[in-house]
Amino acid sequence: MERSLVLIKPDAMQRGLAGTIISRLENLGLKLVAMKLLHPDKALAQRHYAIHKDKPFYDSLVNYISSAPLIVCVFEGKGAVEAIRKAMGATDPAKAEAGTIRGDFGLDIERNTIHGSDSAATAEEEIKLFFSPDEMFSY
């Protein structure tokens, strides 16, 4: 079974969109196996986005992600990574198709409402940053 780490980003939390977004992911037929409300500090945000540390938007991204409590969750299911990426839409909401989460709710390329892992291997690394094994459920 494949897993994906999802973050409901600050812009979505602040606009009360968490339930709507999580509902869309549940409707894909994926199972929620971990979930918490967490306000990441800068160190955690830096680790989560370490792959982007040389990008011009890195500092702004880290500040943004650590600016509010997030809902952090893990969805599990066959093809979970790709199913979630498809439901999310393109990184830039202006380019994301209507009907995708970012296309419908994203504000701009930074404040794009949701993070979803980009591969099964990345997901396992990301999950370790946010959850201990006893916070993951099987049912």
x/- string (CB under 5 A) for Mg ion, residues 118-137?
Answer: x-------------------
Nearer to Mg ion, 29 or 119 (CB): 119
Instruction: Tell me the one-letter amino acid at 96.
Output: A
Site for Mg ion in 80-119 (CB under 5 A): 118
Identify which of 87, 83, 80, 116 has the alpha carbon closest to the alpha carbon of residue 24.
Answer: 87
Locus of tokens 């989560």: 48
| Least distance (Å) between residue 139 CB and ligand IDP | 29
| Least distance (Å) between residue 65 CB and Mg ion | 12
Nearer to ligand IDP, 14 or 137 (CB): 14
Quote the CA–CA distance of 59 and 9 in Å, as a whole number: 16
Residue tagged active-site, from 39, 48, 52, 115 = 115
Phi, psi of 96 (to 5 degrees): -80, 140
Identify which of 71, 67, 116 has the alpha carbon closest to the alpha carbon of residue 91.
Answer: 116
**Diameter of the chain by CA atoms?**
42
| Least distance (Å) between residue 73 CB and ligand IDP | 16
Active site residue 48: no
